[in-house]
């Protein structure tokens, strides 16, 4: 009587294997198709911005400016990075989630800000986190894409220091569109499928899609910083 039960189980295993193979093929195809950008993706955090990655622990965060979990993850991550700087470097990769209608607009806004005034990129990210509700799907359901771009430009101009019209013109710049697309594609090549996602020295941290609290960050970074410091001291004394 146990024999017939094997067939459904075998079919499920074969189906899972086929799905896994399809995903692997898609990632390889995406990596082959994605053009190499002229610079590494993302925004380096802080003054001296990860100037010496080889001598620092590198944290990479994939965040959606309109994602509540990305918002909640930012403050503890920022505190942890600032605690260990410059021994810890941070790069944020904008990753617009497709079910947040205007997340791609928000990511483009970050690239516009970075082009006009690079010191305003992170303040604008924090401003998006503070005012997310204004750009949620429900709040923008009756607005056109142009209207949303105008509202984002009004908000951003306060932080960037440029006029609303100057910032708004950035949405017509194909380079900001391309940069935001590269960020999304780059996240896909790293296996990112949600936000927030975190990598430390290239290794994915568990719990992708959920915030990491401050104490957990300290538990992750403290041993690495200590080991890194010992290694640097060893090489210096040689």
- Helix or strand holding residue 232 (H, E): helix 214-237
> Given pLDDT bands bounded at 50, 70 and 90, which one contains residue 37?
low
pLDDT at 222: 96
Q: What does the pLDDT average to over 100-105?
A: 98
Distance between CA atoms of 105 and 110, rounded to whole angstroms?
9
Q: Give yes or no for residue 127 having a pLDDT over 50.
A: yes
The three-point CA angle 142-144-150 to 5° equals 115
Q: Do residues 110 and 167 lie in contact, with contact meaning Cβ atoms separated by under 8 Å?
A: no
Q: What does the pLDDT average to over 230-234?
A: 43
Distance between CA atoms of 138 and 99, rounded to whole angstroms?
12
Which DSSP string corresponds to 156-201? HHHHH-S-HHHHHHGGG-HHHHHHHHHHHHHHHHTT--SSSEEEET
Q: Is 31 helix (H, G, I), strand (E, B) or coil?
A: helix
Maximal CA-CA distance, the chain:
76
- Nearest Cα residue to 166 out of 177, 174, 155, 157: 157
State whether the Cα torsion 58-69-78-153 is positive or negative. Answer: positive
Q: What is the pLDDT of residues 20-35, one digit of tens each?
A: 444 444 444 444 455 6
Q: Do residues 184 and 203 lie in contact, with contact meaning Cβ atoms separated by under 8 Å?
A: no
pLDDT at 237: 39
- Nearest Cα residue to 90 out of 126, 65, 59: 59
CATH of region 43-232: 3.40.30.10
pLDDT at 9: 53
pTM to 2 decimal places: 0.79
Name which residue leads in pLDDT, 192 or 12: 192
| pLDDT, the chain, mean | 84
- Nearest Cα residue to 132 out of 69, 46, 176: 69
Distance between CA atoms of 218 and 3, rounded to whole angstroms?
52
Q: What does the pLDDT average to over 102-111?
A: 98
Name which residue leads in pLDDT, 41 or 233: 41
Q: 150: which residues sit within 8 A by CB, 6+ positions away?
A: 164, 168
């Amino acid at each position: 009587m146990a024999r017939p039960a094997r067939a459904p189980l075998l079919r499920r295993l074969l189906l899972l294997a086929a799905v896994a193979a399809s995903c692997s093929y898609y990632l390889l195809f995406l990596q082959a198709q994605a053009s190499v950008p002229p610079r590494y993706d993302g925004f380096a955090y802080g003054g001296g911005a990860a100037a010496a990655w080889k001598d620092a622990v590198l944290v990479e965060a994939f965040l959606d400016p309109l994602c509540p979990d990305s918002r909640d993850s930012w403050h503890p991550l920022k505190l942890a990075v600032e605690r260990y700087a410059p021994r810890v470097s941070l790069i944020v990769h904008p990753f617009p989630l497709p079910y947040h209608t205007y997340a791609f607009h928000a990511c483009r806004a970050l690239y516009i800000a970075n082009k006009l005034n690079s010191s305003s990129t992170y303040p604008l990210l924090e401003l998006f986190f503070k005012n997310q509700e204004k750009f949620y799907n429900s709040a923008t359901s009756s607005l056109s894409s142009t209207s949303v771009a105008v509202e984002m430009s009004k908000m951003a101009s306060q932080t960037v220091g440029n006029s609303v019209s100057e910032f708004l013109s950035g949405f017509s710049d194909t380079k900001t569109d391309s940069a935001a697309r590269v960020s999304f594609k780059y996240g896909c090549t790293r296996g990112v499928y949600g936000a927030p996602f975190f990598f430390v020295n290239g290794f994915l941290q568990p719990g992708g899609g959920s915030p990491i609290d401050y104490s957990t960050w300290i538990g992750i970074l403290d041993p690495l910083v200590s080991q890194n410091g010992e290694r640097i001291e060893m090489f210096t004394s040689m």
